[in-house]
Amino acid sequence: MSTDSPAPRHVPVMLERCLDALAPAISAPGSVVVDATLGLGGHSEALLTRFPDVRLIAVDRDPQALELSARRLAPFGDRATLVHAVYDEIPRVLDELDVPEVHGVLFDLGVSSMQLDEADRGFAYAQDAPLDMRMDQTRGISAAEVLNTYSHGDLARILKVYGEERFAGKIASAVLREREREPFSTSARLVELVRNAIPAATRRTGGNPAKRTFQALRIEVNGELEVLDRAIPGALDALAVGARIVVMSYQSLEDRLVKQYLQAGATSTAPPGLPIVPEELQPWLKLLTRGAELATEEEIEENRRAAPVRLRVAERIRRTRR
């Protein structure tokens, strides 16, 4: 990709909802907000524009995304600090920047628009491309390496757990059989293999049958759930009292993990019937969404990638944390 072209414009998912959720916490001068998933910088640009006194710290594991967003956010000068890091490294990033606490954190999980739209990244099953799927192509193993080296048991496990694929065992068997003939390198061959491994009756509903397999491989390659399992507690620890966290998840495994952490912080650990609850046993988070909020029809019409989103918002209400 040429570095001379302007950063592409895109419609950030549920942008107004995110800005409104963060507004009470980041409107004051000196507020610091973390964009944990910078991507093409749409949410970050809107935050810097809407809140002229806010300082932004944005991280992304994708060097190409950082390069594009740096040009997009250049007009904001030193109000925006962009860091090449995975979002479970936010505590380290804040420590290195000498930022003891923040007033807002935004997570827009999943694959960025850029990664989906660029065929050679291998994320999209609708077009033939190298089977890479790494969000940071400078490190880690590719999806092709997973397919060509994992045992039947490991392949079946990630397809079942990460892709919630009912036919994980059949697909894993087909992969092992086919890779003996020729190693996997491109997505079209994998899509065809999955289609043939799944019963015809199942193929007729639920969209592209390869969707779950591609999701599973992407999560495995990027360690997404393990990273998220570290990232949410790290982000919550960084919140000042009155600060807010907004998380948009795109599949149930992510949302379930986020829900567990937010609900745990919003639940008292005092024994039932205790007449006076010590502060250290009281909730330190307040949930600001009833369950997970979904995108409206208008939001989906504006950006079809909002369709699967589950949005959760919480506010830190006291310093004490168990």
Q: Write out the chain's pLDDT in tens, 322 residues.
A: 333 434 445 679 999 999 999 999 999 999 999 999 999 999 999 999 999 999 999 999 989 899 999 999 999 999 999 999 999 999 999 999 999 999 999 999 976 555 554 555 555 666 788 999 998 888 889 999 999 999 999 999 999 999 999 999 999 999 999 999 999 999 999 999 999 999 887 776 667 888 899 999 999 999 999 999 999 999 999 999 999 999 999 999 999 999 999 999 999 877 787 788 787 778 999 999 999 999 999 999 988 889 999 999 999 999 875 4
For residue 186, give both structure tokens: 């491109």
Handedness of CA 51, 76, 237, 135 (dihedral sign): positive
The answer to whether the annotation marks 60 as part of a ligand binding site is: yes
In tens, the pLDDT along 199-216 reads 887 776 667 888 899 999
The answer to whether the annotation marks 62 as part of a ligand binding site is: no
| Short-list 287, 286, 280, CA closest to 320 | 280
Taking CA atoms, 106 is separated from 24, 83, 109, 189, 317, in Å, by 14, 15, 9, 37, 18
CATH-assigned architecture of domain 15-114+224-316: 3-Layer(aba) Sandwich (3.40)
- Return the domain boundaries, the chain: 15-114+224-316, 118-222
DSSP one-letter code for 7: P
Query: Residue 153 carries which side chain, given as an amino acid letter?
Result: G
The 8 Å CB, 24+ separation contacts for 35-38 are 35/59, 35/106, 36/87, 36/90, 36/105, 36/106, 36/107, 36/108, 36/231, 36/235, 37/87, 37/106, 37/107, 37/108, 37/109, 37/112, 38/65, 38/66, 38/69, 38/82
Hey, do 15-114+224-316 and 118-222 end up sharing a CATH topology, with the first three levels equal? no
pLDDT recorded at residue 277: 75
The answer to whether the annotation marks 87 as part of a ligand binding site is: yes
Return the half-sphere exposure (C-beta side, CA atoms, 13 A cut-off) of residue 164. Answer: 4
pLDDT recorded at residue 1: 36
What is the enclosing helix (H) or strand (E) of 57?
Answer: strand 55-60
The answer to whether the annotation marks 43 as part of a ligand binding site is: yes
In tens, the pLDDT along 86-104 reads 999 999 999 999 999 999 9
Domain 118-222 maps to which CATH number in 3.10.105.10, 3.30.1280.10, 1.10.10.10, 1.10.150.170? 1.10.150.170
| Short-list 211, 22, 233, 243, CA closest to 111 | 211
Alpha-carbon distance of 213 to 197, in angstroms, equals 12
The answer to whether the annotation marks 261 as part of a ligand binding site is: no
The answer to whether the annotation marks 108 as part of a ligand binding site is: yes
The answer to whether the annotation marks 41 as part of a ligand binding site is: yes
How much is the pTM?
A: 0.88
